[in-house]
A and B are shown apart, each in its own frame.
Chain A
Amino acid sequence: EAGVTQFPSHSVIEKGQTVTLRCDPISGHDNLYWYRRVMGKEIKFLLHFVKESKQDESGMPNNRFLAERTGGTYSTLKVQPAELEDSGVYFCASSHPGQTYGYTFGSGTRLTVV
Chain B
Amino acid sequence: GENVEQHPSTLSVQEGDSAVIKCTYSDSASNYFPWYKQELGKGPQLIIDIRSNVGEKKDQRIAVTLNKTAKHFSLHITETQPEDSAVYFCAASMWSNYQLIWGAGTKLIIKP
Contacts and interface: CB of A to CB of B under 8 A. Distances in A.
A96 B103 CA distance: 25
The 5 closest A-B pairs by CB, nearest first: A105-B43, A43-B102, A42-B102, A42-B104, A100-B98
Interface string B38-65: 0001111110010000000000000000
Chain B interface size band reads: 20 to 34
Interface of B: 4, 6, 32, 34, 41-46, 49, 89, 91, 93, 95-96, 98-105
A107 B42 contact: yes
B99 A105 contact: no
Interface of A: 4, 31, 33, 40-45, 48, 56, 59, 91, 93, 100-102, 104-108
B104 A101 contact: no
Contacts of A56: 99
B34 to A, nearest CB: 6
A105 B49 CA distance: 16
Contacts of B42: 107
Listed residue (A43, A56, A91, A108) with the most chain B CB atoms within 10 angstroms of its CB: A43
